[in-house]
């Protein structure tokens, strides 16, 4: 069936119409789209970041055997809290006992020789130089005896600080080698909580500290999702970034008065910071194209212009904007999908709740 010249003309006119009016199919050529806009206003927002963390004791050591020998006494038990100086283990060592006896004997001999030299000096039987020689010999013997006594006393392992005793795998009578781990001791009065922060968050944190803003709220979320009762504070930042992950380690300190936290626990650190005069827009006012975010900004002539934005933080249904829009800009709030760059719009001003 041949196409008439009338049908050909209709097809040609339709094509020209579509070329001149490339707007959405939801509006006709020349129609002004009605949208809702919102004026960008600064407002305070609380930005919360969460990081996986590892909990460690402020002081944590392995108690090791100072010498070879048999375990003579274990006056502690696993999980017990000990005080500074309290005895934890006694290692029997025949060698140190014998050495102490020998050094004490040498000291006594040196004392007798000195006493004899002094008596002879009174009768001018020996010179004062010889008396000083015997005095030096006695001092040397006394020092060696004191050293032997301290070495023997060292076999009685005492707590260097107050803390909690870990697992004790040995029993009395067990033979241990020098350097063998006997137990652990942890001071849990203050816990050090380590977590890794991406470089961009590190830079934001340092910038906020440079502006003398108030310290962020630091919370610790435990494995059962409960919140630890004590608040923490940032106490240290590592000197170097991890070249593989690009993160840097932060340390937050948490008081542990009830002893709930133990060395080796894990959880989450939540850092909440109030950002004053933040530029915040609803997420629904944005759209994505080629992995970038955009909004429509309406100028004084009611023309909508597409503008790229840079998002600083993402909240539940809001974006905190780092760059792209400014205070006072009118952005399309509802109807983003109905317009294109350069469209003329009629709008109703409304502020999102």
Q: Are residues 168 and 71 in the same domain?
A: yes
Whether residues 52 and 196 share a domain: the answer is yes
Nearest CA to 75 out of 175, 181, 158 is that of 158
Q: Which residues contact 72 (CB under 8 A, 6 or more apart)?
A: 90, 91, 92, 172
- Residue 88 makes CB contacts below 8 A (sequence gap 6+) with 63, 74, 75, 76, 82, 157, 158, 159, 165, 182, 183, 185
The answer to whether residue 263 sits within a structural domain is yes
Does some domain include residue 14? no
The CATH number assigned to the domain holding 229 equals 2.40.30.170
Q: How far is CA 48 from CA 36, 74, 129, 270, in A?
A: 30, 49, 80, 6
Residues 318 and 293 in one domain: yes
pLDDT in single tens digits along all 353 residues of the chain = 444 655 565 555 555 544 444 444 444 455 677 888 888 988 888 888 899 999 999 999 999 998 888 898 999 999 999 999 999 998 887 777 777 788 888 888 888 888 888 888 777 767 788 878 888 988 988 898 888 777 777 788 899 999 999 999 989 989 999 899 999 999 999 999 999 999 988 988 888 777 666 778 999 999 999 999 999 999 999 999 999 999 999 999 999 999 999 999 999 999 988 888 889 989 999 998 888 999 999 998 989 999 999 988 888 888 999 899 999 899 998 888 888 888 998 888 776 65
Angle at 23 between CA 20 and CA 27, to 5 degrees: 115
State how many domains the chain has. 3
Please give the C-alpha separations between residue 70 and each of 159, 166, 171, 179, 266, in angstroms, as whole numbers: 19, 20, 10, 13, 37
Residue 155: DSSP 8-state: T
Distance CA 92, CA 103 (A): 19
Distance in angstroms (rounded) separating the CA atoms of residues 250 and 195: 5
For residue 116, what are the domain limits? 62-185
Q: Are residues 327 and 259 in the same domain?
A: no
């Amino acid at each position: 069936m041949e196409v008439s010249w009338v049908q050909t003309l209709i097809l040609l006119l339709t094509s020209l119409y579509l070329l001149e009016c490339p707007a959405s199919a939801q509006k006709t050529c020349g129609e002004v789209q009605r949208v809702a806009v919102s004026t960008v206003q600064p407002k305070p927002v609380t930005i919360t970041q969460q990081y996986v963390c590892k909990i460690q004791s402020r002081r944590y050591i392995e108690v090791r055997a100072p010498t070879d020998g048999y375990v003579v006494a274990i006056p502690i038990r696993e999980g017990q809290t000990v005080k500074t100086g309290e005895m934890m283990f006694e290692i029997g060592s025949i060698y140190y006992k014998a050495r102490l006896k020998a050094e004490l004997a040498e000291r006594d001999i040196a004392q007798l020789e000195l006493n004899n030299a002094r008596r002879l000096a009174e009768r001018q039987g020996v010179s004062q130089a010889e008396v000083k020689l015997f005095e030096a010999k006695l001092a040397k013997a006394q020092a060696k005896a004191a050293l032997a006594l301290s070495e023997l006393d060292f076999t009685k392992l005492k707590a260097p600080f107050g803390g909690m005793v870990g697992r004790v795998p040995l029993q009395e009578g067990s033979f241990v080698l020098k350097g063998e781990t006997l137990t652990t001791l942890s001071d849990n009065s203050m816990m050090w909580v380590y977590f890794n922060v991406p470089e961009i968050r590190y830079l934001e944190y340092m910038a906020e500290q440079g502006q003398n803003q108030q310290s962020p709220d630091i919370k610790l979320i435990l494995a059962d999702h409960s919140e630890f009762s004590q608040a923490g504070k940032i106490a240290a930042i590592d000197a170097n970034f991890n070249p593989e992950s690009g993160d840097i380690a932060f340390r937050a300190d948490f008081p542990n008065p009830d002893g709930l936290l133990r060395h080796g626990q894990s959880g989450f650190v939540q850092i909440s910071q109030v950002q004053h005069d933040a530029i915040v827009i609803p997420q629904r006012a944005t759209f994505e194209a080629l992995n970038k975010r955009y909004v429509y900004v309406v100028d004084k002539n009611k023309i909508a212009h597409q503008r790229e934005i840079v998002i600083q933080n993402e909240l539940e249904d809001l974006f905190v904007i780092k760059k792209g829009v400014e205070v006072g800009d009118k952005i399309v709030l509802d109807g983003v999908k109905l317009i294109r760059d350069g469209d003329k719009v009629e709008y109703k001003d409304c502020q999102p709740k």
